Structure 1
Amino acid sequence: MNISNFIARRYLFAKKSRNVINLISFISFLGLLVSAASLIIILSGFNGIQKYVEDVYGKFTAELYVYPKTGKYIKETDLIFQNLKETNEIHYFSKVIEGTALLKFENKWVTCVIKGVDPKTYNIKNWGENLLEGNALLKENGLKKILLGYGVQNELQIPFNENFSNPIKVFSISKEKKLSLQNKQSLNQNHLIFGGVYTVNPELDYSSAIVSYEVANEIFERKKGANYIEIFLKENEDLSRIKNYLTENNSSLVFKTHEENNQLIYAANDTEKWMVLAVLIFVLILSSFTIVASITMLIIDKKKDIKSLIALGANPNTIKKIFFKEGLMISYFGSLGGLLIGALICFMQIKFHFLKLENAAIDYWPVLVKSKDVLMLLVILFTTGFVSAYLPGKLLIRKLLHS
């Protein structure tokens, strides 16, 4: 039988030792329990938000984007188009024309960003799931159609009807006419049929509309080419390798992944996540100091026991191990218990969605528990627990033995 383990358990669980030291030990245990549970819950909450954002934007975005390094336009004659056609890992790519235009329906006006794409894009991304009404056909029976974000459609107050024939007027700045605020004829005008309503996220819902690539060429009077290119890869392809390959062969262009294209969103979420984590780790360290206090008080309280053990032949290392192991038990029981409780709460949220969100794009708070976060927290918790258990036994026992 390991004597240090036996005595450490006796000091921690003995019924006769219900005193202020045990109360402090319990407070230390409780502090670690709450801190560990909070850490896993908060991290999983941020992971859930990030996963939700990725899912929402992923339905609407490509894996890779191509932009001109200088200027605003990629010419049809650029080598990139030939490179994309010859790259087997690419499933499809779409030239995109994007610009700001003024939409009018009856007496309602709204400004929005019009995106012109190849209609095949939405078949690839199964984008019809984002439609509230209508379909993703941008051209049907010879009619040029426009899809509106939910907010744009709401501002124009357009009632949906499959046989709807009253067109939406699209005004854009003409390259061939002199702009005049008094004469709307100086603007380029196009008439489009309302084809449907989509919802992606509040930012896009209230500021965007979608037309075919050909119609966008007419609206903005562009020749062949694109403002940027969207690239869709085949399944399980190495995005980083393909990006590097295309970059090496097209030095005049800039290539961005989906995450890089939405860097501000991901950076803001990561910054908030690690700032909150830093605060919680600081609280955890403070909780660990209560273990130092409780073990220190226990050592002082057990002076007679220490003398008796030494008289019976126990060496200094055995004495140190007794109090070190008690500190470890408090720390590790609290840490593991907190992680288990936190993980249980997270899985209950995933299963039952008991934490609701009001007036949000999703009805409940999304949660995602990642194994790497659990491992990281275990390392942090066990490290702080080890240090807080080691210090009082190492320093105070040596001082007592010398005295």
Structure 2
Amino acid sequence: MGRALPYEWLIGVRYLRAGRRGTRNSLLSFMSLASITGVGLGVAALIVVLSVMNGFQREVSARMVSVLSHIEVYDARGRMPDWRTVAAMAARNSAVRASAPFIELPGMLLDDDRMKPATLRGVLPAQEAKVAEFIQGANAAGFAALAPGAYNIVLGAELARELHVKTGEQVVLALPSQQASISNTMPRTKRFTVAGVFEIGHFEFDSGMAFIHLQDAEQLAQVDAPAGLRLRIADADLAPQVARALKNGLDGQFIVSDWTQRNATWFAALRSQKTMMFIILSLIVAVAAFNVVSMLVMSVADKRADVAILRTLGARPLSIMKIFMVQGLLSGLLGVMAGTTAGVLIAWNLSAAVAAFEHWFGVQLLAKNIYFISTVPSDLRWDDVAGVVAVAVALSFLSTLYPSWSATRSRPADALRHE
């Protein structure tokens, strides 16, 4: 036969299920249910919010990486005429998968009375497709039309929409004058034909980036070499380590940076927001823990006679504490289990549920120009779930200490006198 549970556990479970009927015990049962529900809601909310923030970081990072270089290499001299030699040196690192030369120019795109600022990237289409993950499928058609001297341009989808231009139409590119002075501030202009439109799903790039052929960019910038080299590696998360290795391994004076450095402020802000959200939402669980305190205080007052009888039968003060600690901790654990189950299920199905809600009611919960993406992502991580559960269980346990200790302070004779 299995070993019987200690009597403290048996009595604690019985008290959780409520005892005698009456107004006071009905209120006690309601308080117990409220504490379980409060803890459950707090845990579920914390899991869902952390999953959404993880999903937001994952989606935005993935779309950033599809456009930005994993690693960028610049020549300290300002231009890189021997970029093929540098690419060969970089390829000696086993993590490097592909490389492509590039040059970036700030410019202004105009069509009739509309103008939009944009970052122009001059590329070699065949090479760029090896380092930029978004150049595939429908996005690849426009890049195939980029040819030296053709002055074709590929626009981001939002940028083309705001300029009201389509494939085959023309836009005017205005660049700052290389010899600007007080008497000559006129920008240089060049007419380009829209060869295609690309869409990444990241508003910043879709609304502010355009691609032209590398030779056209060099001619506009009045230089004879690309500005640097873009590298793609096997694992984007290892970019900082690979960048350090390349900086030490390349022969010559080069500046090496990775994509996390270029967006360091954004990632630091997101980590800070996630930490603050965890702390703030943990207060929901803390408030629910106060319900456990209230429930236990009422339970201690209601069970004074039971406590007195147990004390006269020889129960130690520690055993009395254990009874009410079991009652309160089980209440918290039931809330944690229910909240964890609900939170995990909601996090797994949140994207589909939000999409259905937006479709039914004809609304958009996330504006692309504010949140970069237009869908609600969710990325459930079990380490976050474990952290939430640990915090909730700890708060539930702490909330049992004072009421349980107060139960040991009652005197059996005084309690039985009033029964």
TM-score range, shorter chain: 0.7 to 0.9
The answer on whether the counterparts of 1:62 and 1:231 sit within 8 Å (CA) in structure 2 is yes
1:326 partner SS: helix
Number of the residue aligned with 2:417: none
Number of the residue aligned with 1:198: 198
Instruction: Tell me the TM-score normalized by structure 2.
Output: 0.81
Q: Does 1:239 align with 2:242?
A: no
Structure 1 CA distance for aligned equivalents of residues 57 and 137 of structure 2:
19
2:396 partner SS: helix
1:231-310 to 2 correspondences below 5 Å = 231-234=231-234, 238-249=238-249, 253-310=254-311
Q: Which runs of 5+ in 1 are unaligned?
A: none
1:86 partner SS: coil
Offset, 1:130: 7.8
Offset from partner CA, 1:352-398 (integer Å, 9 cap, x none):
444436174466422221111101111111111121123322x3134
Offset from partner CA, 1:300-321 (integer Å, 9 cap, x none):
3212111211222323332221
1:101 counterpart (95, 107, 110): 107
Number of the residue aligned with 2:173: 170
State the number of aligned residues.
Answer: 392
The one-letter code matched in structure 2 to 1:339 is T
CA 313–196 in structure 1, closer or farther in 2 if over 3 Å, else same: same
1:256 partner SS: strand
Identity of aligned residues (%): 19
| RMSD of aligned alpha carbons | 3.2
The answer on whether the counterparts of 1:130 and 1:199 sit within 8 Å (CA) in structure 2 is no
CA 254–15 in structure 1, closer or farther in 2 if over 3 Å, else same: farther
Q: Does 1:145 align with 2:156?
A: no
Offset, 1:36: 0.9
1:40 counterpart (29, 47, 55): 47
Offset, 1:327: 0.8
Q: Does 1:16 align with 2:20?
A: yes
Q: Does 1:207 align with 2:208?
A: yes
Number of the residue aligned with 1:229: 229
Number of the residue aligned with 1:88: 94
The answer on whether the counterparts of 1:36 and 1:339 sit within 8 Å (CA) in structure 2 is yes
Offset from partner CA, 1:198-256 (integer Å, 9 cap, x none):
22322223322111222211111123241x43210136994343222123346965543
Structure 2 CA distance for aligned equivalents of residues 183 and 285 of structure 1:
63
The one-letter code matched in structure 2 to 1:33 is G
CA 112–378 in structure 1, closer or farther in 2 if over 3 Å, else same: same
Instruction: Tell me the TM-score normalized by structure 1.
Output: 0.84
Offset, 1:268: 3.0
Q: Does 1:400 align with 2:410?
A: yes
The answer on whether the counterparts of 1:355 and 1:365 sit within 8 Å (CA) in structure 2 is no
Structure 1 CA distance for aligned equivalents of residues 236 and 258 of structure 2:
15
Structure 1 CA distance for aligned equivalents of residues 162 and 290 of structure 2:
58
Offset, 1:136: 1.9
Number of the residue aligned with 2:328: 327
Structure 1 CA distance for aligned equivalents of residues 265 and 318 of structure 2:
54
The answer on whether the counterparts of 2:91 and 2:97 sit within 8 Å (CA) in structure 1 is no
1:173-188 to 2 correspondences below 5 Å = 173-175=176-178, 188=188
